[in-house]
Structure 1
Amino acid sequence: MITVHMFNLTIIIPIYNVEQYILDCIQSVIAQLTDDIEVICVDDGSTDHSIDVLSTYLKQQPQTHIKNIKILQQQNAGVAAARNLGIRHAQGKYLTFLDSDDVLLPAYAQEIQRAIASDADVISFGYQSLSEDLTPISHPFIPQQVLDQTQQHQQTLIDIFNVNLWFSGIHLYKASLFQGIEFPKLSHYEDAATIPDVIMQARSFYTIQAALYGYRIRASSATNCKNASNIDRSLQCLEQLIPTLIEKTKAQVIFIIPLMHFFYIYIYQSTKFKNKQCAKHNWSKFAGAIQQLPQASDLIQNEHNRMLYHCLAFGLYGFYLSKFMSRLVRSIKKRLGRPYQR
Structure 2
Amino acid sequence: MPKVSVIIPIYGVEKYIERCARSLFEQTLDDIEYLFIDDVTPDKSIDILKQVLVEYPFRKKQVVIHRMDTNSGQAAVRKWGIQNATGDFVIHCDSDDWIDVDMYRVMYEKAIREEADVVVCDFNYTDGISYKRKVKACFSDSCDEFVLDMLYQKISWAVWNKLIRKELCSSVKVFPLYAMGEDMVTTIQIILSCEKISYVENAYYNYYFNPNSIMNTLTREQCMNKYLQLKGNTELLLPLLKNSFTGICYRKIEKVLRYNKTIPLLTYIYEKNFFILWKSEMKSCYSLIFDCNVKKIFKLMYVLVMLRIYPLYKCWK
Structure 1 residue 170: Cα displacement: 1.3
Name which of 93, 102, 105 aligns with 2:97. 102
Match of 1:330 in 2: none
Structure 1 residue 8: Cα displacement: 1.8
Cα 1:154–1:116 shift into 2, 3 Å = closer
Report the residue type matching 2:148 in the other structure.
I
Match of 1:337 in 2: none
Q: Secondary structure at the match of 2:181?
A: coil
Structure 1 residue 45: Cα displacement: 0.5
Is the Cα–Cα contact under 8 Å of residues 119 and 199 in structure 2 kept in the other structure?
yes
Match of 1:124 in 2: 120
Match of 1:331 in 2: none
Distance 1:203 1:47 in 2: 42
**TM value normalised by structure 1:** 0.76
Name which of 131, 140, 143 aligns with 2:137. 143
Structure 1 residue 276: Cα displacement: 4.2
Cα 1:52–1:91 shift into 2, 3 Å = same
Is the Cα–Cα contact under 8 Å of residues 89 and 164 in structure 2 kept in the other structure?
yes
Structure 1 residue 50: Cα displacement: 0.8
Aligned residue runs from structure 1 range 239-250, under 5 A: 239-250=231-242
Cα 1:94–1:225 shift into 2, 3 Å = farther
Instruction: Tell me how many residue pairs correspond in the alignment.
Output: 305
Match of 1:332 in 2: none
- Greater CA drift, 68-77 or 264-273: 264-273
- Residue by residue over 1:163-206, the C-alpha shift from the partner in whole angstroms, topping out at 9 and shown as x without a partner, is 24121111111122221525423132211222111111111100
**Gap regions ≥5 residues in structure 1:** 1-5, 328-342
Distance 1:195 1:50 in 2: 27
- Greater CA drift, 279-288 or 79-88: 279-288
Name which of 27, 30, 40 aligns with 2:25. 30
Is the Cα–Cα contact under 8 Å of residues 110 and 119 in structure 2 kept in the other structure?
yes
- Residue by residue over 1:194-251, the C-alpha shift from the partner in whole angstroms, topping out at 9 and shown as x without a partner, is 2111111111100011101111112465754533343222122123234344444543
1:69 aligned onto 2:54: no
Q: Secondary structure at the match of 1:179?
A: helix
Cα 1:8–1:112 shift into 2, 3 Å = same
Is the Cα–Cα contact under 8 Å of residues 11 and 95 in structure 1 kept in the other structure?
yes
Name which of 217, 225, 229 aligns with 1:233. 225
Match of 1:340 in 2: none
1:176 aligned onto 2:167: yes
Match of 1:215 in 2: 207
Distance 1:319 1:90 in 2: 49
- Greater CA drift, 162-171 or 92-101: 162-171
Cα 1:229–1:159 shift into 2, 3 Å = closer
Distance 1:256 1:299 in 2: 15
**TM value normalised by structure 2:** 0.81
Cα 1:155–1:204 shift into 2, 3 Å = same
Structure 1 residue 256: Cα displacement: 5.5
Q: Secondary structure at the match of 2:224?
A: helix
Match of 1:12 in 2: 7
Match of 1:200 in 2: 192
Distance 1:16 1:216 in 2: 15
Is the Cα–Cα contact under 8 Å of residues 264 and 308 in structure 1 kept in the other structure?
no
Match of 2:148 in 1: 158
Cα 1:81–1:267 shift into 2, 3 Å = closer
Distance 1:225 1:175 in 2: 38
Distance 1:191 1:223 in 2: 17
